[in-house]
Structure 1
Amino acid sequence: MTKGTTKRMIVMLLLVGLVFGGIYGFQQFRNKMIQKAIKGQGMPPQAVSTTVAQTSVWQPAVEAVGNLRAASGASLAAEVGGLVTAIHFESGETVKAGQLLVELNAAPLKAQLEQLKAAAALARQNYERDSAQLKVQALSQAAVDADAANLKSAQAQVAAQEATIAQKSIRAPFAGRLGIRQIDLGQFLAAGATIVNLQKLDPMYLDFSVPQTQIDLVHVGDKIAVQTSAMPGRTFTGSISAIEPLVDTATRNLRIRARIPNAKGELLPGMFATARVDEGGKREYITLPNSAIAYNPYGSTVYIVKDGGKGADGKPKLSVEQRFVTTGATRGDQVAVLTGLKAGETVVTAGQLKLHNGAPVFVNNSVPAANNPNPEVKDE
Structure 2
Amino acid sequence: MLVSSRFCEMINFNYVQIFLLLFKQFTPNSVMISGEQSWILMGKTAQLIIVLVIAVLGYGAWQYQDRLPFLGASTDAPAAKTRPQRPQSVIVSAVVNRPLPRNITAVGTARANESVVITSKVTGKINRLNFSEGQKVDAGKLLVQLDDTELRANLNESEATRDNAQKLYDRALKLYETRNVAKAQVDLLYSELLAAEAAVAADQARINDYRIVAPFSGILGFREVSVGSLVQPGVTITTLDDMDTIKVDFDLPENRVADVRPGQNFKAQSVAYPDRVFDGTVQTVSTRVSDVTRSIRVRGAVPNEDALLKPGMFLSVELQVSVDENALMVPEEAVVLTISGPLVYAVRDGKAMRTPIKLGRRINGFAEIIDGLDEGDQVIVEGLQKVKDGAPVDVSQAVQTSEAS
Query: Which one of 84, 94, 104 corresponds to residue 62 of structure 1?
Result: 104
What is the one-letter code of the residue matched to 2:159? K
Question: Following TM superposition, by how much is the alpha carbon of 1:126 offset from its aligned partner in structure 2, in angstroms?
Answer: 1.4
Closer, same or farther: CA 249–286 of 1 in aligned 2, 3 Å: farther
Q: Which has the larger radius of gyration?
A: 2
SS of structure 1 residue aligned to 2:243: strand
SS of structure 2 residue aligned to 1:86: strand
What residue number does 1:260 align with? 302
SS of structure 2 residue aligned to 1:265: coil
Whole-angstrom distance in 1 between the partners of 2:360 and 2:194: 72
Whole-angstrom distance in 2 between the partners of 1:250 and 1:207: 18
What residue number does 1:195 align with? 237
TM-score by length of 1: 0.61
SS of structure 2 residue aligned to 1:148: helix
**1:140 aligned to 2:182?**
yes
SS of structure 2 residue aligned to 1:233: strand
Whole-angstrom distance in 2 between the partners of 1:160 and 1:249: 49
What aligned pairs does 1:145-164 form with structure 2 within 5 A after superposition? Answer: 145-164=187-206
What residue number does 1:374 align with? none
Whole-angstrom distance in 1 between the partners of 2:360 and 2:295: 18
Identity %: 28
Closer, same or farther: CA 116–60 of 1 in aligned 2, 3 Å: same
What is the one-letter code of the residue matched to 1:116? S
What is the one-letter code of the residue matched to 2:188? A
SS of structure 2 residue aligned to 1:226: strand
Question: Following TM superposition, by how much is the alpha carbon of 1:54 offset from its aligned partner in structure 2, in angstroms?
Answer: 10
SS of structure 2 residue aligned to 1:115: helix
Q: Is contact 2:99-2:323 (8 Å) kept? A: no
Query: Which one of 150, 159, 170 corresponds to residue 128 of structure 1?
Result: 170
What residue number does 2:351 align with? none
Whole-angstrom distance in 1 between the partners of 2:140 and 2:369: 55
Whole-angstrom distance in 1 between the partners of 2:249 and 2:261: 14
What aligned pairs does 1:246-325 form with structure 2 within 5 A after superposition? Answer: 246-285=288-327
Query: Number of matched residues?
Result: 256
Gaps of 5+ in 1: 1-52, 294-326, 345-363, 365-380
Whole-angstrom distance in 2 between the partners of 1:342 and 1:133: 107
What residue number does 2:116 align with? 74
Q: Is contact 2:138-2:217 (8 Å) kept? A: yes
What is the one-letter code of the residue matched to 2:239? N
SS of structure 2 residue aligned to 1:122: helix
Whole-angstrom distance in 1 between the partners of 2:266 and 2:323: 15
Whole-angstrom distance in 1 between the partners of 2:310 and 2:121: 28
Q: Is contact 1:60-1:283 (8 Å) kept? A: no
Q: Is contact 1:286-1:342 (8 Å) kept? A: no
Q: Is contact 2:267-2:277 (8 Å) kept? A: yes
What residue number does 1:234 align with? 276
**1:245 aligned to 2:312?**
no
What is the one-letter code of the residue matched to 2:307? G
Whole-angstrom distance in 2 between the partners of 1:102 and 1:330: 59
**1:97 aligned to 2:117?**
no
Query: Which one of 167, 176, 187 corresponds to residue 218 of structure 2?
Result: 176
Q: Is contact 1:224-1:275 (8 Å) kept? A: yes
Question: Residue deviations 1:83-107, cap 9 Å, x none?
Answer: 1111111111111111111100011
Question: Following TM superposition, by how much is the alpha carbon of 1:282 offset from its aligned partner in structure 2, in angstroms?
Answer: 3.7
Q: Is contact 2:265-2:281 (8 Å) kept? A: yes
Whole-angstrom distance in 2 between the partners of 1:330 and 1:185: 62
Q: Is contact 2:128-2:144 (8 Å) kept? A: yes
Question: Following TM superposition, by how much is the alpha carbon of 1:58 offset from its aligned partner in structure 2, in angstroms?
Answer: 2.8
SS of structure 1 residue aligned to 2:170: helix
Whole-angstrom distance in 1 between the partners of 2:361 and 2:129: 54
SS of structure 2 residue aligned to 1:281: strand
What residue number does 1:47 align with? none
Gaps of 5+ in 2: 1-94, 330-334, 342-357, 375-388, 390-405
SS of structure 2 residue aligned to 1:83: strand
Closer, same or farther: CA 292–126 of 1 in aligned 2, 3 Å: farther
Question: Following TM superposition, by how much is the alpha carbon of 1:207 offset from its aligned partner in structure 2, in angstroms?
Answer: 0.5
Question: Residue deviations 1:290-349, cap 9 Å, x none?
Answer: x999xxxxxxxxxxxxxxxxxxxxxxxxxxxxxxxxx9x964799996xxx7856xxxxx
Whole-angstrom distance in 2 between the partners of 1:242 and 1:202: 18
Q: Is contact 1:54-1:343 (8 Å) kept? A: no
Q: Is contact 1:69-1:205 (8 Å) kept? A: yes
What is the one-letter code of the residue matched to 1:238? G
SS of structure 1 residue aligned to 2:192: helix
Could you say what the CA RMSD is over the residues aligned between the two structures, in angstroms? 3.0
Whole-angstrom distance in 2 between the partners of 1:55 and 1:263: 39
Q: Is contact 2:114-2:241 (8 Å) kept? A: yes
SS of structure 1 residue aligned to 2:225: coil
Question: Following TM superposition, by how much is the alpha carbon of 1:251 offset from its aligned partner in structure 2, in angstroms?
Answer: 2.0
Whole-angstrom distance in 2 between the partners of 1:193 and 1:234: 38
Question: Following TM superposition, by how much is the alpha carbon of 1:269 offset from its aligned partner in structure 2, in angstroms?
Answer: 0.1
What is the one-letter code of the residue matched to 1:168? Y
